[in-house]
Amino acid sequence: MRRLAPLVALGVALVACGKVGPPVAPERRLPQPVTDLRGVIQNGGIELSWTSPTRRADNTRLRDLAAAHVFRAEDAGPGEPKPALLSRGRIVGYTEVATIRLGGPPPAEAPGAAVVQDNAIRLTDRRGLTPGRRYSYVVVTEDGQGRVSPPSSRVTLTLIAPPEPPARLAAVAGEREVRLRWEPPARLVDGTAPPGPLAYEVLRAADATTPPEVVTPAPIEATQLTDRNLENEHTYYYAVRAIRRQGETIARSQPSQRVAATPVKMTPPAPPSDLVATPVGTTVRLSWRPSPDPDAATYVVYRAAGSGPFQRVGSTKAPSTVFVDRDVPSGIYRYVVTAQDASSRANESPRSNEARVTLP
Name the residue range of residue 94's domain.
26-158
On the question of a cis peptide bond just before residue 319, with omega within 30 degrees of 0, the verdict is: yes
Same domain? 150 vs 86: yes
Same domain? 252 vs 325: no
Q: Write down which residue in 261, 289, 306 finishes a domain.
A: 261
**CATH code for position 319:** 2.60.40.10
3-state helix, strand, coil in the chain (%, to 5): 5, 45, 50
Asked if 193 contacts 216 with a C-beta cutoff of 8 angstroms, the reply is no
Same domain? 228 vs 333: no
- Total domain count, the chain: 3
Same domain? 32 vs 148: yes
Same domain? 30 vs 153: yes
Instruction: Tell me what pLDDT residue 111 has.
Output: 45
Report how far apart, in Å, the C-alpha atoms of 289 and of each of 214, 317, 326 are.
46, 14, 21
Distance of CA 204 to the CA centre of its chain: 7
Question: Structure pTM?
Answer: 0.77
Instruction: Tell me what pLDDT residue 118 has.
Output: 87
pLDDT in tens, the chain (360 residues): 344 344 333 333 333 344 455 555 667 899 999 999 999 999 899 999 999 999 999 999 999 999 999 999 999 988 999 999 999 999 999 999 999 999 766 554 444 578 998 899 999 999 999 999 999 999 999 999 999 999 999 999 999 999 999 999 999 999 999 999 999 999 999 999 999 999 999 999 999 999 999 999 999 999 999 999 999 999 999 999 999 999 999 999 999 999 999 999 999 999 999 999 999 999 999 999 999 999 999 999 999 999 999 999 999 999 999 999 999 999 999 999 999 999 999 999 999 999 999 998
- In this structure, is residue 349 part of a structural domain? yes
Same domain? 190 vs 217: yes
- In this structure, is residue 6 part of a structural domain? no
Same domain? 143 vs 31: yes
- In this structure, is residue 9 part of a structural domain? no
Instruction: Tell me what pLDDT residue 329 has.
Output: 95
- In this structure, is residue 4 part of a structural domain? no
Distance of CA 232 to the CA centre of its chain: 18
Same domain? 188 vs 294: no
- In this structure, is residue 209 part of a structural domain? yes
Same domain? 353 vs 299: yes
- In this structure, is residue 19 part of a structural domain? no
